[in-house]
């Protein structure tokens, strides 16, 4: 029977597909794009089914505007992964697909690589005596270059030959377009290892052998401090994969995608490496994406969303810094790229490697219970010593812009020896609050449950939560006093104080305010590498992905916030940051020191980390998690709701709670907590509440949500408040 109807997943927030009639001479395919009328608009969607009958009255259905593809957008592996993720995260399929598709494809652009233009010399061109072209040297050069064989248009342009010259020579009939044989550009025949490899140490060799022995899917956790040789393991594992002609997908955190990282892979192998990150323009993104799908890229390195890149012949997936929170998408389609990578590896039957110096407690748990292979690198090649760690108790100490006297003395010592010093302070701006000295009034954002941050340079108060900014007031809002003072220390203040304390040394500040301009981060990093700066000051941004061999002292200026956060992952994050920075300090000839300033030197987290290391910390943190019924021992989902009317927000979540409780799937070990106000109870004028649900297994969680969600969507208030469901949230 003829298929007359197409089911189309559209980028709209509705958990359903839409039926359309197939017009004459239209040949839609499953997984391919179509353009359709939708309300008063036209949208591009993905065909997810074809049928002979429609689910509604066929005469009501509109006809497809156009069929855009003759082959599916994604490979079967990614297509199935998207279906799975849509169910698991309870996010509408069409919206999820739209979110991970290159923008230009979503706009209907053809999904085909622009074929490169090639030129070849003609017989008439060959017969031209070059001496006759002395007045047209560029034309002569074209002919000369092409006598060695065909060349691409782009290559010729790169030789300083303008497009008009090529046009002229072509018009004279001396050169003509050339079509290269299909596989001339394929990388496989040209694969080669292009640099000397170090001999692996025993642990590295074991890791490589274990991973390479896998046939099909397996997940390995590769744990090793910075410099222990994880990347070298990746490179060794990639070699046989690429040699077989298969492709590799490598995910790194946004901030870790540095030119150094990319160069590492380019240097080792003679294969095309494609990079996908948020900074690409739409055109380049589509090109990179298509190159991966058409097997013209051998290695794809990208950030979170690159996980969904279709690859013709995928052979391995590597997730570097697997613990990094940036792998979790924080809005709309809230997927976790690491978890989905494991799913993708399973689906496509290829091995997955999760690498980290500080594995997430989830992955550690999976490794310890045998679900993942557990591979450890404990030595640093070259016998580099690990950093000495110390705690600075600042209780009752005078602080100079956040720095204690012992820390300043230690800094001076390292600087005088010609080394660099690195300071972390996770608070940008000049001061996190501004206060009246007379009455204690604090300048707070009217739209948020938060204080304004003072930005001295711009003479502005800024709310870091809703973006609101206004000039610094001259008078207290309450008592009219002009004695306004700043409270606390941000990076901007610390920077200016460092200028006073250490006038003979140069400080560079790296935070979001200071690196907004494109290329500025690279400029600073280059300056650090060249030794133009001696003091490096920054937020978390500075901790990740960069190597600073001349830094011998690292200080965490204020760690107390993380010790007493209401997010149960805050200690884990602090521990990861501490190990990360310790790994950046020093090298073989110059051992490093890491110092923490805290008011709570006795805190068990700090004690176990500093004296026993991440492993011991992780052990005790896992024990705590088990006792508190927290992940990875249970599974969480979070309903968030916000609105201008606090009552409706709270009431809506109360109704969600009742809906969940009424579900037949209710399980003894499942719990609903809340509604309770979010950590930031008001933001941009909206009140924010949340409802946390907990289940003993993913399966129970999924059944519960699947049964309850349709009823939640039926609640009248669900259309009045803004709400979302975050399955396995990373931030509470």
- Which residues of this chain interact with Zn ion, rule CB under 5 A? 436, 438-439, 441, 445, 447-448, 463, 465-466, 468, 476, 478-479, 481
Rounded Cα–Cα distance for residues 58 and 52 (Å): 11
CB 636 within 8 A of CB 694: yes
From the list ligand ADP, Zn ion, none, pick the one residue 229 interacts with, judged by a Cβ distance below 5 to 8 Å according to partner type.
ligand ADP
CA-based R_g, the chain, Å: 29
Q: Does 224 bind ligand ADP (CB under 6 A)?
A: yes
From the list Zn ion, ligand ADP, none, pick the one residue 476 interacts with, judged by a Cβ distance below 5 to 8 Å according to partner type.
Zn ion
Q: What are phi and psi of 346, to 5 degrees?
A: -60, -50
DSSP state of 62: P
Bond prior to 345 in cis (omega within 30° of 0): no
From the list Zn ion, ligand ADP, none, pick the one residue 232 interacts with, judged by a Cβ distance below 5 to 8 Å according to partner type.
ligand ADP
Q: Which two tokens stand for residue 279?
A: 């900074």
Q: Any idea of the CA torsion for 612, 618, 624, 629, to the nearest 10 degrees?
A: 180
Q: Which of 90, 106, 141, 230 binds ligand ADP (CB under 6 A)?
A: 230
Please count the residues of this chain forming the interface with ligand ADP, following the rule CB under 6 A.
14
Nearer to Zn ion, 443 or 535 (CB): 443
Which residue is associated with the tokens 């941009």?
684
Q: Which two tokens stand for residue 406?
A: 């012992």
Q: Does 591 bind ligand ADP (CB under 6 A)?
A: no
From the list ligand ADP, Zn ion, none, pick the one residue 438 interacts with, judged by a Cβ distance below 5 to 8 Å according to partner type.
Zn ion
Options 111-119, 136-144, 226-234, 488-496: segment touching ligand ADP (CB under 6 A): 226-234
Q: Does 640 bind ligand ADP (CB under 6 A)?
A: no
From the list ligand ADP, Zn ion, none, pick the one residue 447 interacts with, judged by a Cβ distance below 5 to 8 Å according to partner type.
Zn ion
Q: Does 231 bind ligand ADP (CB under 6 A)?
A: yes
From the list Zn ion, ligand ADP, none, pick the one residue 230 interacts with, judged by a Cβ distance below 5 to 8 Å according to partner type.
ligand ADP
Rounded Cα–Cα distance for residues 305 and 288 (Å): 13
Q: Does 204 bind ligand ADP (CB under 6 A)?
A: yes
CB 621 within 8 A of CB 361: yes
Q: What is the DSSP string of 247-280?
A: EEEEE--GGG--HHHHHHHHHHBSS-EEEE-TTS
| φ/ψ bin of 454: left (φ > 0), alpha (ψ from -120 to 50), beta (otherwise) | beta
From the list Zn ion, ligand ADP, none, pick the one residue 460 interacts with, judged by a Cβ distance below 5 to 8 Å according to partner type.
none
CA distances from 246 to 194, 211, 249, 311, 314 (A): 18, 16, 10, 9, 6
Nearer to ligand ADP, 320 or 558 (CB): 320
Nearer to Zn ion, 201 or 444 (CB): 444
Q: Any idea of the CA torsion for 70, 73, 77, 79, to the nearest 10 degrees?
A: -110
Options 219-227, 429-437, 469-477, 623-631: segment touching ligand ADP (CB under 6 A): 219-227
From the list ligand ADP, Zn ion, none, pick the one residue 662 interacts with, judged by a Cβ distance below 5 to 8 Å according to partner type.
none
Options 46-54, 81-89, 207-215, 223-231: segment touching ligand ADP (CB under 6 A): 223-231
Sign (positive/negative) of CA torsion 646, 652, 656, 662? positive
Give min distance, CB of 688 to Zn ion, in A. 12
From the list Zn ion, ligand ADP, none, pick the one residue 198 interacts with, judged by a Cβ distance below 5 to 8 Å according to partner type.
ligand ADP
Nearer to ligand ADP, 263 or 371 (CB): 263
CA distances from 410 to 275, 414, 557, 601 (A): 41, 6, 13, 18
- From 328, 176, 167, 258, select the one nearest 545 (Cα to Cα): 258
DSSP state of 456: T
Nearer to ligand ADP, 63 or 205 (CB): 205
CB 153 within 8 A of CB 166: yes
Which residue is associated with the tokens 């040297």?
137
Give min distance, CB of 198 to ligand ADP, in A. 3
Q: How much helix, strand and coil, in percent to the nearest 5, is found in the chain?
A: 35, 25, 40
Nearer to Zn ion, 352 or 448 (CB): 448
Q: Which two tokens stand for residue 288?
A: 């990179």
Bond prior to 379 in cis (omega within 30° of 0): no
Nearer to Zn ion, 205 or 439 (CB): 439
Q: Does 198 bind ligand ADP (CB under 6 A)?
A: yes
Rounded Cα–Cα distance for residues 249 and 320 (Å): 11
- From 304, 277, 270, 274, select the one nearest 288 (Cα to Cα): 274
Options 229-237, 359-367, 441-449, 509-517: segment touching ligand ADP (CB under 6 A): 229-237
Options 57-65, 200-208, 592-600, 676-684: segment touching ligand ADP (CB under 6 A): 200-208
Q: Does 227 bind ligand ADP (CB under 6 A)?
A: yes
CA distances from 572 to 617, 618, 626, 694 (A): 9, 8, 15, 20
In the three-class reduction of DSSP (H, G, I as helix; E, B as strand; rest coil), residue 656 is classed as helix
Nearer to ligand ADP, 17 or 226 (CB): 226
Q: Does 229 bind ligand ADP (CB under 6 A)?
A: yes
Residues 370-389 that bind ligand ADP (CB under 6 A): 381
Q: Does 232 bind ligand ADP (CB under 6 A)?
A: yes
Nearer to ligand ADP, 232 or 726 (CB): 232
Give min distance, CB of 227 to ligand ADP, in A. 4
Nearer to ligand ADP, 267 or 470 (CB): 267
- From 224, 252, 208, 596, select the one nearest 386 (Cα to Cα): 224
From the list ligand ADP, Zn ion, none, pick the one residue 492 interacts with, judged by a Cβ distance below 5 to 8 Å according to partner type.
none
Nearer to ligand ADP, 473 or 549 (CB): 549
From the list Zn ion, ligand ADP, none, pick the one residue 481 interacts with, judged by a Cβ distance below 5 to 8 Å according to partner type.
Zn ion
Q: Does 200 bind ligand ADP (CB under 6 A)?
A: yes
* HSE value, Cβ hemisphere, 13 Å, CA-based, for 536: 34
Q: Does 201 bind ligand ADP (CB under 6 A)?
A: yes
- From 468, 464, 442, 440, select the one nearest 453 (Cα to Cα): 464
Nearer to ligand ADP, 204 or 373 (CB): 204
Nearer to ligand ADP, 231 or 444 (CB): 231
Q: Does 253 bind ligand ADP (CB under 6 A)?
A: no
Options 220-228, 304-312, 524-532, 588-596: segment touching ligand ADP (CB under 6 A): 220-228
Give min distance, CB of 615 to ligand ADP, in A. 16
Q: Does 228 bind ligand ADP (CB under 6 A)?
A: yes
- From 262, 138, 242, select the one nearest 192 (Cα to Cα): 242
Interface residue list for ligand ADP (CB under 6 A): 198-201, 204, 224, 226-232, 381
């Amino acid at each position: 029977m003829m298929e007359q109807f197409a089911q189309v997943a559209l980028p709209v927030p509705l958990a359903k597909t839409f039926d359309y009639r197939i017009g004459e001479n239209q040949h839609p395919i499953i997984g391919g794009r179509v353009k359709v009328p939708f309300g008063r608009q036209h949208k591009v969607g993905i065909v997810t089914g074809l049928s002979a009958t429609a689910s509604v009255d066929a005469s009501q259905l509109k006809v497809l505007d156009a069929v855009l593809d003759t082959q599916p957008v994604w490979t079967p592996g990614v297509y199935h992964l998207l279906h799975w993720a849509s169910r698991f995260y309870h996010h509408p399929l069409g919206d999820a697909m739209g979110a991970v598709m290159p923008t230009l494809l979503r706009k209907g652009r053809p999904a085909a690589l622009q074929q490169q233009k090639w030129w070849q010399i003609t017989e008439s061109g060959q017969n031209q005596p070059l001496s006759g072209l002395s007045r047209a040297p560029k034309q002569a050069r074209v002919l000369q270059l092409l006598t060695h064989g065909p060349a691409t248009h782009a290559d010729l342009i790169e030789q300083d030959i303008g497009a008009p010259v090529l046009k002229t020579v072509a018009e004279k009939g001396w050169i003509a377009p050339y079509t290269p044989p299909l596989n001339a550009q394929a990388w496989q025949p040209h694969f080669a290892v292009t640099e000397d490899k170090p001999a692996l140490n025993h642990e590295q060799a074991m890791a490589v052998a274990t991973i390479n022995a896998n046939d099909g899917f397996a997940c390995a956790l590769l744990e090793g401090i910075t410099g222990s040789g994880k990347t070298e393991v990746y490179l060794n594992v990639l070699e046989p994969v690429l040699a077989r002609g298969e492709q590799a997908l490598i995910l790194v955190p946004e901030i870790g995608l540095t030119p150094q990282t990319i160069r590492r892979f380019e240097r080792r192998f003679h294969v095309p490496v494609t990079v996908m990150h948020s900074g690409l323009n739409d055109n380049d993104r589509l090109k990179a994406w298509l190159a991966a799908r058409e097997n013209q890229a051998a290695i794809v390195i990208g950030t979170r969303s690159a996980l969904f890149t279709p690859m013709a012949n995928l052979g391995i997936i590597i997730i570097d810094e697997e613990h990094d929170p940036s792998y979790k998408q924080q809005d709309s389609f809230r997927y976790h790229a690491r978890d989905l990578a494991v799913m993708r590896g399973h689906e496509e039957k290829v091995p997955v490697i999760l690498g980290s110096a500080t594995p997430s407690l989830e992955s550690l748990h999976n490794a310890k219970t045998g679900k993942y292979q557990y591979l450890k690198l404990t030595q640093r090649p070259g016998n580099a010593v690990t950093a000495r760690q110390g705690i600075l108790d600042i209780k009752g100490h005078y602080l100079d812009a956040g720095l204690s006297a012992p820390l300043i003395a230690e800094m001076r010592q390292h600087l005088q020896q010609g080394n660099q010093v690195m300071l972390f302070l996770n608070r940008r701006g000049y001061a996190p609050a501004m206060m009246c000295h007379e009455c204690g009034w604090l300048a707070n954002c009217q739209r948020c449950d938060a204080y304004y941050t003072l930005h001295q340079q711009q003479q502005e108060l800024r709310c870091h939560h809703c973006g609101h900014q206004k000039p610094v007031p001259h008078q207290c809002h309450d008592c009219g006093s002009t004695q306004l003072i700043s409270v606390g220390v941000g990076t901007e203040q610390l920077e200016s104080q460092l200028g006073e304390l250490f006038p003979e040394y140069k400080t560079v500040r790296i935070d979001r305010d200071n690196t907004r301009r494109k290329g500025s981060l690279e400029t600073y990093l280059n300056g650090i590498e060249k030794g133009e700066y001696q003091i490096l000051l920054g937020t978390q941004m500075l901790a990740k992905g960069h190597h600073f061999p001349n830094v011998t002292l690292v200080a965490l200026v204020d760690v107390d916030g993380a010790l007493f956060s209401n997010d149960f992952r805050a200690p884990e994050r602090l521990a990861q940051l501490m190990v990360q920075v310790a790994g950046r300090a020093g090298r073989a000839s110059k051992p490093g020191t890491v110092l923490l300033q805290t008011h709570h030197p006795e805190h068990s987290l700090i004690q176990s980390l500093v004296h026993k290391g991440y492993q011991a910390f992780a052990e005790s943190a896992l024990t705590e998690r088990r006792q508190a019924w927290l992940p990875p021992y249970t599974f969480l989902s979070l309903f968030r709701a916000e609105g201008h009317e606090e009552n409706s927000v709270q009431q809506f979540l109360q109704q969600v709670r009742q809906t969940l409780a009424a579900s037949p799937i209710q399980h003894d070990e499942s719990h609903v907590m809340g509604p309770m106000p979010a950590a930031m109870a008001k933001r941009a004028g909206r009140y924010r509440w949340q409802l946390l649900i907990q289940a003993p297994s993913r399966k129970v969680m999924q059944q519960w949500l699947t049964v309850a969600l349709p009823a939640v969507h039926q609640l009248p208030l669900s259309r009045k408040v803004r709400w979302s469901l975050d399955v396995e949230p990373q931030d509470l």
